[in-house]
């Protein structure tokens, strides 16, 4: 081995502590460098591996923790959704009850009969009822067992949306109902009811309808009811209204005509003296006249007449009937 070659080599000596043979390795410097380089590279790779492992491990732990948190949050949201759905159903039940009360009130105040908008409102009510049916088809709410949360959210959202549009409509309807109730109250106070006299005995001397006229002696229509009363008997208004005429009128003598609104008019004829003037406002039971025998009359009596939309009707039907 030449000196030059010797220079490229290194000797590694392993000296055992016990008695033994000295071990000599002769390797080239180049190989030694490669071995050392490999060892350093291995150590570096291991270190990076360990670092990556720990990093991933901690990320994994973090992910687990996050998942646990999300799971908790999910359960909480599901509970909240169930509650929201329950509350929505309660709200819907309340709305349906409101609708029932509404219908009862309408029946009581004869809403259809007395409200011009009744037909229109009725259609709206039907519309609302249909929407309620649609609401009901969603059944009992979210099924959290099957975990169909999306469908539950959709249903609850849908219900709430519908209720949101129904409530303002219902509010408008209730406003109309309030006006109608006031109107009905006025109707009840105005409609002619009961007797126009308060004497214990009421004697009808001539009925409503065709008869032979006691003075003219010919068969003709009698538009009212003749009640036999002595001179000066108190005559009362049978409903609230406005006196549209108080004075003398051919055939009727001293007469009072009251317009009660709602298409009703009453007439009290043959009086001796009047207690009201044209334009006066009266209530049911107000003293309006004292009976007599004025006009075309064969004896002291009160001619009591009721007109509905300008047509005379049998007063007995109104005297006898109750408030409905």
Note the residues at the interface with Zn ion (CB under 5 A). Answer: 224, 226, 303
CB of 320 to Zn ion, least distance (A): 18
Beta carbon of residue 222, minimum distance to Zn ion (angstroms, whole number) = 6
Choice between 183 and 270, CB closer to Zn ion: 270
Based on CB atoms, which residue is closest to Zn ion, 60 or 230? 230
Question: Taking the complex as a whole, how short is the minimal distance between the CB of residue 306 and Zn ion, in angstroms?
Answer: 12
Q: What number of helices (H) and strands (E) belong to the chain? A: 6, 14
User: Residue 230 Cβ, how far from Zn ion at the closest point, in Å?
Assistant: 16
Q: Which is nearer to Zn ion, 199 or 293 (CB)?
A: 293
DSSP string, 179-245: HHHHHHHHHHHHS--S-S---S--EEEE-SEEEE-TTT-SEEEE-SEEEE--TT-EEE-SS-EEEEE
Q: Is 128 exposed, middle or buried (0-12, 13-18, 19+ CB in 10 A)?
A: buried
* Residue of this chain nearest to Zn ion (CB atom): 303
Q: Which is nearer to Zn ion, 111 or 208 (CB)?
A: 208
Question: Shortest gap between Cβ of 111 and Zn ion (angstroms)?
Answer: 37
Residue whose CB is less far from Zn ion, 96 or 293:
293
């Amino acid at each position: 081995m030449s000196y030059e070659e010797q220079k490229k080599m290194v000797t590694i000596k392993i000296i055992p502590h016990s008695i033994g043979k000295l071990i000599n390795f002769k390797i080239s410097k180049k190989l030694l460098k490669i071995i050392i380089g490999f060892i350093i590279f291995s150590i570096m790779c291991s270190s990076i591996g360990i670092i990556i492992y720990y990093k991933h491990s901690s990320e994994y732990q973090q992910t687990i923790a996050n998942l646990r948190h999300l799971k908790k949050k999910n359960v909480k949201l599901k509970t909240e959704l169930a509650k929201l759905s329950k509350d929505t159903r309660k709200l819907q039940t309340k709305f349906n009850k409101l609708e029932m009360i509404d219908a009862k009130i309408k029946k009581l105040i004869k809403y259809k009969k007395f409200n011009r908008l009744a037909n229109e409102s009725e259609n709206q009510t039907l519309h609302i009822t249909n929407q309620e049916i649609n609401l009901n088809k969603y059944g009992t709410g979210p099924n959290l067992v099957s975990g169909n949360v999306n469908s539950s959210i959709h249903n609850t959202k849908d219900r709430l949306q519908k209720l949101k549009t129904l409530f303002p409509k219902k509010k408008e309807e209730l406003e109309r109902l309030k006006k109608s109730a006031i109107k009905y109250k006025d109707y009840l106070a105005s409609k002619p009811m009961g007797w126009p006299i308060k004497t214990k005995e009421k004697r009808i001397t001539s009925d409503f309808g065709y008869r032979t006229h006691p003075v003219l002696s010919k068969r003709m229509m009698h538009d009212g009811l003749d009640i036999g009363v002595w001179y000066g008997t108190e005559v009362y208004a049978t409903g609230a209204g406005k006196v549209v005429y108080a004075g003398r009128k051919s055939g009727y003598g001293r007469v009072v005509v009251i317009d009660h609104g709602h298409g009703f008019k009453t007439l009290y004829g043959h009086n001796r003296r009047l207690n009201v003037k044209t334009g006066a406002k009266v209530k049911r039971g107000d003293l309006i006249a004292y009976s007599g025998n004025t006009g075309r009359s064969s004896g002291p009596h009160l001619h009591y007449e009721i007109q509905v939309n300008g047509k005379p009707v049998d007063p007995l039907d109104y005297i006898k009937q109750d408030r409905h």
